[in-house]
């Protein structure tokens, strides 16, 4: 294993521990939007104070720097992507990589400067910053906004890659599992690079190395979930 891979693994493991300590990552039984019963839940909205958000931004920035992904500006999709994108832009500037930042409103403003976009003009290669990617829907919306502004959607940075099958809605209102994950769809079908701080594989590695029985007891359920829904 090369040195960058070792550093990358260490960053992912530190992020999993940080997410647990913040209560962002929880174990139990949680129903997902796809109707699956997941043994874990990741709620990035609980990075809810200055210290947590600052540390989260540091994880994003470190992962982006180590990824080697080139980009000209950051876009934060409403709503969770707005504080995330802003915080990451601040942290990158602190590290000496100052880039413009923009975000969108859910509803276009009809007074003042108007429009649905706020911040720097969208131009060049744009990095989209969000928390997780469930179906790729939010990414498609951001891509459309970026292209409409004449810029190039280039990459997506997320906190956690769940590495599980995406779903597609059916005419009868049900959903159907598909063979690819949302991240794979964005990479292979939409042509964007995807950079994740950590993945489900990293979570499994973390649980597998814990001496704590309280944490170790969750390993079989998370592993079984990966075997059933993983890609």
Long-range Cβ pairs for the range 97-102 (8 Å, 24+): 97/61, 97/65, 99/71, 99/72, 99/73, 99/74, 100/72, 100/73, 100/74, 101/73, 101/74, 101/75, 101/76, 102/73, 102/74, 102/75, 102/76
Any idea which residues carry the catalytic annotation? 109, 111
Q: Which of 94, 167, 79, 93 is nearest to 130 (CA)?
A: 79
Identify whether 79 is preceded by a cis peptide bond (ω within 30 of 0): yes
């Amino acid at each position: 294993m090369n040195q960058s891979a070792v550093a990358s693994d260490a960053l992912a493991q530190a992020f999993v521990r940080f997410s647990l300590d913040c209560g962002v990552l929880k174990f139990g039984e949680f129903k997902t939007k796809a109707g699956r019963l997941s043994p874990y839940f990741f709620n990035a909205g609980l990075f809810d104070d200055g210290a947590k958000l600052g540390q989260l931004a540091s994880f994003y920035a470190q992962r982006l720097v180590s990824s080697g992904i080139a980009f000209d500006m950051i876009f934060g999709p409403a709503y969770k992507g707005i504080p995330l994108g802003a915080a990451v832009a601040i942290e990158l500037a602190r590290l000496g990589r100052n880039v413009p930042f923009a975000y969108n409103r859910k509803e276009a403003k009809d007074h003042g400067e108007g429009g649905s976009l706020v911040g720097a003009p969208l131009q060049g290669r744009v990095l989209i910053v969000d928390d997780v990617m469930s179906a790729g829907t939010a990414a498609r919306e951001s891509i459309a906004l970026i292209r409409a502004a004449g810029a190039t959607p280039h990459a997506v940075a997320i906190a956690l890659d769940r590495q599980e099958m995406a779903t597609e809605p059916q005419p009868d209102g049900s959903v159907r599992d598909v063979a690819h994950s949302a991240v794979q769809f964005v990479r292979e079908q939409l042509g964007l690079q995807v950079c994740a701080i950590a993945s489900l594989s990293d979570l499994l590695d973390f649980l597998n190395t814990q001496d704590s029985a309280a944490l170790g007891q969750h390993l079989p359920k998370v592993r079984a979930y990966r075997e059933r829904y993983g890609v």
